[in-house]
Amino acid sequence: MGYYRRRYGERVQKLVLDAGFSCPNRDGTVGWGGCSYCDNAAFHPGYSTPGKALLAQIEEGIEFQRVRYPRVRHYLGYFQAYSNTYGTLERLQRAYEEVLSHPEVVGIVIGTRPDCVDEEKLDYLSGLAGGRVLKGWRRTFGGSGIDGGWANERSADSGSGANGWRADDRSTNDRSTDDRSTNDRSTNSISANSISTNSISTNSISANSRSTNGGSIDDRSTNNGSADGGLPEGKTIDAPIVVVEYGIESCYDATLRRINRGHDFECARRAVEMTAERGLDTGAHFILGLPGETREMLLDQCDAISSLPLRSVKFHQLQIVKGTAMEKEYAADPSAFYRPGLDEYLDFVIDILERLRPDLYIERVAGEVPPRFVNDTPWGLVRNFEILRMLDRRMEERGARQGRLFSK
């Protein structure tokens, strides 16, 4: 069962959005050219294009999703392209609140870089998630699924801050690893949360153990939750879901310099801690196979990942996108890249999962880019859901489970 179905009793689908943001390593603030593996233009779903009004993107995205998921009634606005906190607070407020005004949107997912947040922005997001910004906002799960929006009333302190596919939904329009600020532009992705519960934990960190600030998923409901943590049929939330997803990519500073990220791992740690301290739902994305990183290094970084106060983690194998700086680097020295075949990758991912904290929600374990955008397809045309089934079987064969080798 997917995380949102577990929490809210029904499927909640992401709608990929492009709000026209950029990145500080593209415009000269911390560098030029962006991340060496990134080509944003190749990964927009058809309805999500720069310059199109956000509400228009939502309407077109809903129509797109309803072809595949006609029963879905609630959506998350997924700010994906580039770094979606890279702007003034006023610009962020306009974008986020415009999306949240749509009656079928129950929350937002904000993909960004760890060097693009500060206390003022995080305080605002905490207020948004804690119900202190959009007074009168509410959504009802079950029944019609639509509660009619909110009273369009902002609290006085909100201005300065009141402080692909996932495996469970297999969306063809969740167009990235986790965000376009992380910039490993996989159009489709695999979520480990649909793998059988005897192999991978689908638990999440209780946000109320991180903060008493009122921004957690666990306290958004105006009603008591059901026994399994979800909301009873027909119950209401009076504050939007707010998720902040950081593109961290690697725990190794040498790698981050090599791929032109423009920040170090300590920057990522600080951002994650600041976000989690405010009770915000916090996720991170990592790329497996960046140049210079060995299999052993990728396994060793599991301890660092587990030490972060994250609710969720996404992993993707590195995919060499045409026209990027990394394509040239790979052509010059392919031996610098760890790129296992599919069979080896299954065991590799299991080795990672066994070393991770058992309560981490694993949203994705691999990605899929349309063949026309990559310089090779080492796994052939196998689809993500097929890989998930293979991974599930392999875990059962090995008797593996998430967190088996984790030690505090």
Query: What tokens does 361 get?
Result: 């929600």
What is the tally of structural domains in the chain? 1
Query: What tokens does 252 get?
Result: 């190794």
pLDDT at 195 over 50: no
Per-residue confidence band for 18, with pLDDT thresholds at 50, 70 and 90: very high
**Rounded Cα gap, residues 365 and 308, in angstroms:** 18
Asked, for residue 407, whether it belongs to a domain, the answer is no
Q: Are 339 and 232 in contact (CB under 8 A)?
A: no
Domain range for residue 91? 3-398
pLDDT at 232 over 60: no
Q: Supply angle C-alpha 188, 178, 209, rounded to 5.
A: 135
- The residue behind tokens 């904290």 is 357
Asked, for residue 406, whether it belongs to a domain, the answer is no
Of the chain, the end-to-end C-alpha distance in Å amounts to 28
> Which among 186, 197, 195, 249 has a CA at the least distance from the CA of 387?
195
Asked, for residue 317, whether it belongs to a domain, the answer is yes
Give the distance, in angstroms, between the CA of residue 220 and the centroid of all CA atoms in the same chain. 20
Asked, for residue 405, whether it belongs to a domain, the answer is no
Three-state DSSP at 119 gives: helix
**Rounded Cα gap, residues 249 and 178, in angstroms:** 11
**Rounded Cα gap, residues 288 and 285, in angstroms:** 10
pLDDT at 193 over 80: no
Q: Which residue has the higher pLDDT, 160 or 56?
A: 56
Question: What is the overall mean pLDDT for the chain?
Answer: 81
Residue 107 phi, psi (nearest 5):
175, 180
Asked, for residue 66, whether it belongs to a domain, the answer is yes
Q: b/e map of 334-365 (b: 16 or more CB within 10 Å)? A: eeebbbbeeeebbebbbbbbbbbbebbbbbbb
Per-residue confidence band for 43, with pLDDT thresholds at 50, 70 and 90: low
Asked, for residue 274, whether it belongs to a domain, the answer is yes
Q: Note the pTM of the prediction, 2 decimals.
A: 0.81
Strands 105-112 and 74-79: parallel
Q: What is the pLDDT of residue 205?
A: 33
Q: Supply angle C-alpha 45, 46, 51, rounded to 5.
A: 95
**Rounded Cα gap, residues 244 and 282, in angstroms:** 5
Q: What is the pLDDT of residues 312-344, one digit of tens each?
A: 999 999 999 999 999 999 999 999 999 999 999
**Rounded Cα gap, residues 53 and 58, in angstroms:** 9
3-state DSSP: the chain helix, strand, coil percent, rounded to 5? 35, 15, 50
CA distances from 366 to 44, 165, 230, 272, 287 (A): 19, 10, 27, 23, 9
Q: Are 167 and 235 in contact (CB under 8 A)?
A: no
Q: What is the pLDDT of residue 200?
A: 37
Query: What tokens does 245 get?
Result: 């997803």
Asked, for residue 408, whether it belongs to a domain, the answer is no
> Which among 116, 154, 141, 131 has a CA at the least distance from the CA of 279?
131
Q: Are 214 and 348 in contact (CB under 8 A)?
A: no
Task: Supply the CATH number for residue 15's domain.
Answer: 3.20.20
Asked, for residue 404, whether it belongs to a domain, the answer is no
